[in-house]
Amino acid sequence: MSILADKSTKLIVQGMTGRSGTFYTDQAINYGTNVVGGVRPGKGGKNHIGRPLFNTVAEAMAETGANASMIMVPAHNAAAAMIEAIEAEMPLIVCVTERIPVLDMVRVKDALRGARSELVGANSQGVLTPGACKIGVMSTADARPGHTGVASRSASLTSEVVAGLSAVGLGQSTTVGIGGDPVHGIGFVRCLELFMNDPDTHGIVLIGEIGGSEEEQAAAYLKEMKSRKPVVALVVGRHAPAQRRMGHAGTLSVFGAGNAASKNAALNAAGACVVENVMGVAPAMADALVPA
């Protein structure tokens, strides 16, 4: 099993006819993802890279039975694309678009209240269930099917961690990029809930950053749940200066709030195995999965 996406996923791509949309849709198809169509207003009834195009998400869902959408729409229209998918009750929406205005994402979050959709992103590398389904822009070169779930705020670190896990024989059930923006869809807590309830996920890796409160929320959840599965956590940015954004829009520590030390302390107190660098993740997970 896995979370969010698997062999049964039927994917449409909003913005499929653009340069990036074309490239990453083709990659998904070649990986084996069941891409059933695309959405591009005004081009309904045509075909693109062997898949039918529709004018709206609702039309695409009705015609294909799609249950997931990948949004490859430019930043100025991405919020409208997400809201359209939410209003169509698309079960899974994965938005990889970067640099979406924060106020636009506030509107998206408002649309999600009480909705039936799960949103991953924006500014996400996507969701990957190795050997079954790729929705996003992540590398698949080192991914292997297995039993370790990965939830991350960083695409590049996800690639490094996945490579390390696979090198020691630990494949992945699903990897999820929650996105690096301050306002986004599902976070670490929701990923933990899904992984904890997935019988095929035996251990969980969290890859965090300075800024925001995702890691502290995850720690509170783990403390309350008294984790049933081992969790290995890596929070990067230990030497980052305060009040300076580092990479992602959400990666900002102000006056010590949301810094790596406080996040690591919270996760450690909640029972997670906290490692100091990316090279420590795979060995720590391998040790944690050895029966006592």
Residues annotated as part of the active site:
248
279 DSSP assignment: G
Q: Which residues pair with 95 in a beta bridge?
A: 71
List Cα–Cα distances, 126 to 138, 230, 261, 263, in angstroms. 7, 23, 28, 24
Looking up tokens 């699903």 gives 174
Closest CA to 128 of 112, 113, 139: 139
C-alpha span between 165 and 202 (Å, rounded): 13
Burial 201-222 (b: 16+ CB within 10 A, else e): bbbbbbbbbbbbbbbbbbbebb
List Cα–Cα distances, 108 to 88, 183, 185, 234, in angstroms. 14, 9, 9, 29
